Amino acid sequence: MAPPEAWHSNLAHARDVLNAAITGKPYPVTAAITLASNPLLSFPNTKRVFEALKSLQLYVVMDYYLTPSAALADYVFPASSTVEQPELWLTGGFCMACPQGIEPLYERRNSYDFYRGLGVRFDQEEHWPWENVEAYYDYRLEPMGMTFRQIVEKGRWEPARWEYKKYEKMGGFGTPTGKIELASTVMEKLGYDPLPYYQEPPESPIGSPELSEKYPLILITGGRFHPFFHSEHRQIDKLRKRYPWAKMQIHPDTAEGLGIAEGDWVWIETLHGRVMQKVEIFENIDPKVVHAQHGWWYPEMPGEEPWLHGVWISNINVCTSSDEAECDEALGSWPLRTFQCKVYKVKSYGQDHPVTG
């Protein structure tokens, strides 16, 4: 293996990539491919993400279905599903191989074939010697002395026995000191506090008390709920019938004080934007806190701009921020659970949803 100084990272912080697409600094980003992703829903600061995607000269999406992000794309490639491609899972101390069940329908392809095909077209075939993903899996499994097909036949692979104190034979743990580091030498070398510490969020009753008069509640986002996963499955009719609308949770005392009740449509507003969700009265939440679901879009709405399948209606990331000053100073992580907000009832003139009818 090459020494660390020879390693080259192929990663960049999404916020900086989006900013470069908009500003052209530190260098222009004019094209992008997103695969099995939905940036308009999964990234904070939806308005900024929209601006960045619109700034691109070429935007390509590969996905299972037409998401709001795909609606902005110049080209959309259909992705094959799990049963249409072989898959190798390496996780939790064991390895599992899933063989391809059926041939991909229509023009669907797996992501390896997509990227290899692109690499070959760019005269990079020497870097893609494996003609298909199963051959690549065999390459990955060589150190174990196994092939993908052998693991398929076994069902799964795991060590015959667990070796305790293996780290003693390997010269320690995978840290610069070889020890368990309660204080991170890497963070210290980079100029950060080597120990975990608490930092008050910029937008909070303590971090920005002047906001509390206008935005008296604390907004948290992103809790998981069935039957959806992130922004997936909203387009499946059976699941939408079970769970048709976005919901926000609020304490009964807070709801009573605001004059809102179970099932009401309310605005959730922060410094950054506002969206609508339906009220769910929830006793097990602090009266000062509201929780809004994430990942909401409405596939039944038009895909063309400005609709984009309802991405602006209930998508809570319209209300979040990706400003550098609000992100973690070391890792750049964005704050998705620490905003001040206000909640008020949506004015309605009938029984239907005020926007979608």
Q: What is the pLDDT of residues 291-307, one digit of tens each?
A: 999 999 999 999 999 99
Report whether 38 contacts 68 (CB < 8 A).
yes
What pLDDT is recorded for position 356? 52
- Checking if the pLDDT of 89 tops 90, the result is no
Domains 11-154 and 209-345 share a fold: no
What do you get for the CA distance between the two ends of the chain, in Å?
60
Question: What local confidence, expressed as pLDDT, does residue 101 receive?
Answer: 93
> pLDDT class for 337, splitting at 50, 70, 90?
confident
Contact 201, 338 (CB under 8 A): yes
Checking if the pLDDT of 6 tops 70, the result is: no
CA-based R_g, the chain, Å: 24
Rounded CA gap, 78 and 230, in Å? 20
* Residue 204 to residue 224: CA distance in whole angstroms: 23
Tell me, which fold does domain 11-154 have in CATH? Rossmann fold (3.40.50)
326-335 LR contacts (CB < 8 Å, sep 24+): 326/201, 326/202, 326/203, 327/15, 329/192, 330/187, 330/190, 330/192, 332/13, 332/15, 334/15, 334/44, 334/45, 335/44, 335/201, 335/202, 335/203
Sign of CA dihedral 244, 245, 250, 254: negative
Given a cut of 90, whether residue 345 has pLDDT beyond it is yes
In this predicted structure, what is the pLDDT of residue 4?
43
| pLDDT, greater one: 6 or 226 | 226
Per-residue pLDDT for 71 more than 50?
Answer: yes
Structure confidence at residue 48 as a pLDDT band (50, 70, 90):
very high
Helices (H), the chain: 14-23, 39-42, 46-55, 111-121, 133-141, 148-154, 166-169, 185-189, 237-242, 252-258
Confidence band of 352 (pLDDT split at 50, 70, 90): low
What residue spans define the domains of the chain?
11-154, 209-345
Across 95-104, 145-154, 215-224, 269-278, the highest mean pLDDT is recorded for: 269-278
Q: Which CATH architecture has domain 209-345?
A: Beta Barrel (2.40)
